[in-house]
Amino acid sequence: MSTMRLDRAVEQPTPHGNLWDQADIIAITYGDSIRSADEKPLQTLHRFFNRHLRGSINGIHILPFFPWSSDDGFSVIDYTSVNEGLGDWRDIKAIARDYNLMADLVINHCSARSRWFENFKARLDPGQDYFVEADAGTDLSRVVRPRTSPLLKAVETLAGQRHVWCTFSHDQVDLNFRNPAVLIEFARIIRQYLDAGVKLFRLDAIAFLWKDPTTSSINLPETHEMVRLLRTLIEHCDKNAIIITETNIPNRENLAYFGNANEAHVIYNFSLPPLLLHALVCGDARHLKTWMMSMPPAQNGTAYLNFLASHDGIGLRPAEGLLSTEEIDRLAGLMQRFGGRISWRALESGENRPYEINIALFDALKGTLACADDGLQLERFICAHTIMLALEGIPAFYIHSLFGTRNDYQRLEHTSQNRSINRHQWDIGRLEAALSDPDGQHREVFERLQTMITIRRGQAAFHPNATQFTMHVGSAIFAFWRQSSNRGQSIFCLHNISDVTQTVPLADINLIELDDWHDLISGERYSNLQDTITLRPYQCVWISNR
């Protein structure tokens, strides 16, 4: 057994230090989201980003780039290798030199085809005691499930039949962190990723890590303790490394992963996608505002990761308690009419409830509850991302949102997996042709989002930890105020989330008369603070004094 490298000088992390600022923008992508016939996908991806996104995106989350057997990478066969179909560690290191690289630590489970699980069946080390087992007769009714498949999988081993715990699928067998050897394995893996240049560690499905059949087996105290331990290991190897927890769960439980600024540096703002989608298709921001007022400011050293779309879809569990059951069902039904699919989860009662909407975000914003196709799709889409860019936190764009990619029904039919609808693979030639078409939708989306990103990156008041207050200027306007830490810049962000023109008296915003106010987006100046602002459907203004 090899020993871990301990020869590197330890740099002490700075408590409550922010490792990010307003210039940080992350793109989320698979290693092969952009392909070319004559080079490895990781090389193609790197070349595309350097050519088209170098000045606006400085972080890349490459979804699992390891050998895998299912779930588009999240069923890892070998954590220490790069999938040969994507490239090799040299390609990963090259990207890490140019961008802040985020990698997945798929820590809850591994592939049933992994060496560890083959050793489990053969009763060999390492692996024979790496997995969670339970008796087939155990009462597991309290265990929270994100899937409808049976929790236990019967496996024939050299020691007879065993039943292993599979939270997500029978190809994804849950690892047993009661065994210290499993933790040591992952410490080695983390060390390798750090040496490869990984700066951000996404702890995949971390909420399910610790199992206790007498409980829900989600968000257990031992899981939070493991996050604290992983943070200690990682940040004492690299004081600038960042832990991000992926916990697609109700909002209050998600917030707990900040700990006391000693667990995750960053948590996914999982409630934002369903709530903002709901607001835009309803033309009513009341739920969105109520939620935002309940969100505690992230203390220094922690931040929210804001996103609207991902490789998975739009999770609905984070909307529970924020939207009613009827509102969630109505939203899910509308997304199905827009060509999307719904993934389900099983409740303790045996009832199935919507777990996730699977749809390309551009198609999700095709229309509203009142009108299925009103010609305002592009404006709704840009409005959604303008809001995301202005909110407290670090913005993350799913790569397909940058281009306005549509539902991929061919890929969906090929895989029969709902999530494939939003996992299109672009040929680089076709993508660059689409981005060069002066009359094309893809180019307009790309250029308008690039413009908004550029504006955001220059504003101190958009620092991920800058002050934020919710404003109340009517249910059709989602408005909030941001202020820089030195109080030098204020930005009043007003977004019309409806398909009806709205007017807002400047007097209602309480602008200070001695300052020079102007809209960062349009450049319009406001010299008479008794005037009224008129906002077209889905128009946004960022009124700044700097």
Shortest CA distance to 129 belongs to which of 188, 169, 175, 80? 175
Q: Where are the domains of the chain?
A: 19-263
Q: What are phi and psi of 476, to 5 degrees?
A: -90, -5
For domain 19-263, the CATH architecture is Alpha-Beta Barrel (3.20)
Q: What is the mean pLDDT of each run of 10 residues along the chain (546 residues)?
A: 43 88 98 97 98 96 98 97 98 98 98 98 98 96 90 98 97 98 98 98 98 97 98 95 94 95 96 98 98 96 97 93 96 97 83 93 98 96 98 98 98 96 98 97 98 98 98 97 96 98 94 92 94 97 97
Strand 266-268 to strand 303-306: parallel, antiparallel, or no bridges (unpaired)?
parallel
* Phi, psi (degrees; rounded to nearest 5) at 314: -105, 105
The first and second tokens of residue 107, run together, are 């820590």
Q: Which pLDDT does position 1 carry in this prediction?
A: 34
Contact partners, residue 425, CB within 8 Å, separation at least 6: 30, 32, 33, 34, 35, 411
pLDDT number for residue 2: 35
CB burial class (10 A; 0-12, 13-18, 19+) of residue 513? exposed
> Which among 461, 542, 411, 299 has a CA at the least distance from the CA of 35?
411
d(CA 370, CA 136): 50
Please report, in range form, the residues annotated as the binding site. Answer: 71, 109, 202-204, 311-312, 419
Nearest to 28 by CA among 295, 307, 276, 281: 307
Angle between helices 221-237 and 180-195 (to 10 degrees): 40
Looking up tokens 């913005």 gives: 395
User: CB–CB of 72/65 below 8 Å?
Assistant: no
The residues carrying an active-site annotation are 204
Q: What is the pLDDT of residue 542?
A: 98
Residues near 481 by beta carbon (within 8 Å), at least 6 away in sequence: 467, 468, 469, 471, 490, 491, 492, 493
pLDDT at 5: 41
Binding site for substrate, by residue number, is 71, 109, 202-204, 311-312, 419
Helix (H, G, I), strand (E, B) or coil at 170: coil
**What span, in angstroms and rounded, lies between the C-alpha atoms of 268 and 512?**
35
pLDDT of residue 10: 61
State both tokens at 174: 């849950």
What are the structure tokens assigned to 347, written together? 């409740």
CA pair distance 273, 406, nearest whole angstrom = 17
Task: Find out whether 249 and 317 touch, Cβ atoms under 8 Å.
Answer: yes
